[in-house]
């Protein structure tokens, strides 16, 4: 993708998007980790960095639910689908892929960024989006759709750049540029896996790239309802997004039932309802993904030193 620049040094790779010079964790993020009873980060003399295993689902609030046993079985059944991630570069880059890079992937990236910022990881988790087959130049109908998208994005406090830039096509090289690639539906997921299978023969390389590509909604069941709707200073979501998740589009249960994130038809009579349902499903999945990546940050990571 033309929006990413790569600087390689040995085995380390740093990618930045246009207009982005962020590279370290914020104080708020460090405080949040400490409040999760993590031990203080200690410097290590070893040159290697730990690679985290998939974290355990958060059990907070599960005892207050009458169906806690059944709810816990769902995350456990999906645990094998959650990838290992490496924080060795002290940041992670996440790519959201849909069919045309028009609505769903961009909306997911914007909501992911807002949730990451809220949790103090805005300078450590970088989202972007791409499409399998981006469309051509915008016509009058596309411009009208863009106007509606911009209004919706503004109400969600998503930065305008997510919807004003030209569409970008997914490239196989993006598997090296990004730490994690999230498909917005099963057809995109299958297409991405098919591209990997066609390029790489069976073996370690194919396995490595395959595990990098995940269906976004597999993370929707990572968190308990109590964590997703928590209020106060350590809430996972800002109040506006928490309200939309809990009270909009059929509630939290309806969003957890979504497997393929649909593309809303904003021109249809029920376009507003479709938009509301998509927003709720994406709030759930992106917030849970942020929490998953934050939980995957190793407790024994060396202190970050930009001079090294």
Higher pLDDT, 111 or 30: 111
Contact status, residue 228 vs residue 245, Cβ threshold 8 Å: yes
Q: Indicate the pTM of the whole model.
A: 0.75
Distance CA 204, CA 56 (A): 25
Distance CA 150, CA 144 (A): 10
Output the CA angle 22-25-31, nearest 5 degrees. Answer: 150
| Digit-coded pLDDT (tens) for 48-77 | 334 456 776 554 433 334 344 444 455 566
Higher pLDDT, 165 or 307: 165
CATH of domain 82-295: 3.40.50.2300
pLDDT recorded at residue 105: 94
> Is the per-residue pLDDT at 146 higher than 70?
no
- Average pLDDT rounded to a whole number, residues 145-160: 71
> Is the per-residue pLDDT at 175 higher than 90?
yes
Alpha helices in 27-139 (DSSP H): 27-35, 68-78, 104-118
Average pLDDT, the chain: 76
| Digit-coded pLDDT (tens) for 187-243 | 999 999 999 999 999 999 999 999 999 999 999 989 888 888 888 878 999 988 988
Highest mean pLDDT among 6-15, 45-54, 161-170, 206-215: 206-215
Contact status, residue 149 vs residue 163, Cβ threshold 8 Å: yes
Higher pLDDT, 128 or 48: 128
| Digit-coded pLDDT (tens) for 242-284 | 888 887 667 888 999 999 999 888 777 887 888 889 999 999 9
pLDDT recorded at residue 306: 57
User: Domain residues of the chain, as ranges?
Assistant: 82-295
> Which candidate, 104, 94, 67, places its Cα nearest to that of 252?
67
Task: Copy the structure tokens of residue 37.
Answer: 């009873």
CA distances for 17 relative to 6, 174, 276, angstroms: 10, 13, 29
Residue found under tokens 């104080």: 27
Residue found under tokens 């993708």: 1
pLDDT recorded at residue 207: 95
pLDDT recorded at residue 75: 58
> Which candidate, 8, 88, 13, 10, places its Cα nearest to that of 49?
88
Sign of CA dihedral 82, 87, 89, 95: positive
């Amino acid at each position: 993708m033309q929006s990413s620049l790569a600087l390689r040094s040995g085995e380390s790779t740093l990618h930045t998007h246009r207009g982005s010079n962020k590279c370290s964790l914020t104080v708020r993020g460090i405080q949040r980790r400490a409040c999760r009873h993590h031990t203080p980060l200690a410097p290590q003399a070893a040159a290697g960095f730990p690679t985290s295993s998939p974290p355990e689902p958060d059990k907070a609030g599960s005892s207050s639910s009458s169906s806690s046993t059944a709810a816990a079985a769902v995350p456990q059944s999906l645990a094998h689908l959650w990838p290992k991630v490496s924080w060795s570069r002290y940041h992670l880059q996440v790519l959201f892929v849909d069919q045309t890079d028009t609505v769903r992937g961009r909306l997911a990236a914007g909501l992911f960024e807002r949730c990451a910022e809220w949790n103090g990881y805005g300078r450590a988790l970088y989202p972007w989006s791409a499409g399998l087959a981006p469309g051509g130049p915008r016509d009058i109908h596309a411009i009208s759709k863009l106007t509606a998208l911009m209004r919706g994005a503004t109400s969600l406090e998503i930065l305008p750049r997510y919807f004003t830039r030209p569409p970008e096509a997914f490239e196989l090289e993006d598997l090296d540029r990004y730490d994690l690639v999230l498909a917005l539906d099963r057809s995109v997921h299958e297409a991405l896996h098919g591209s990997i299978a066609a390029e790489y023969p069976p073996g370690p390389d194919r396995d490595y790239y395959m595990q990098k590509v995940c269906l976004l909604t597999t993370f929707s069941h990572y968190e308990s309802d109590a964590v997703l709707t928590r209020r106060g200073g350590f809430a996972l979501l800002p109040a506006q997004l928490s309200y939309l998740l809990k009270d909009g589009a059929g509630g939290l249960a309806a969003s957890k039932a979504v497997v393929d994130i649909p593309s809303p038809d904003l021109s249809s009579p029920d376009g507003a309802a479709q938009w509301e349902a998509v927003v709720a499903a994406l709030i759930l999945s992106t917030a849970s993904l942020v929490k998953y990546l934050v939980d995957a940050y190793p407790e024994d990571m060396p202190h970050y030193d930009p001079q090294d």
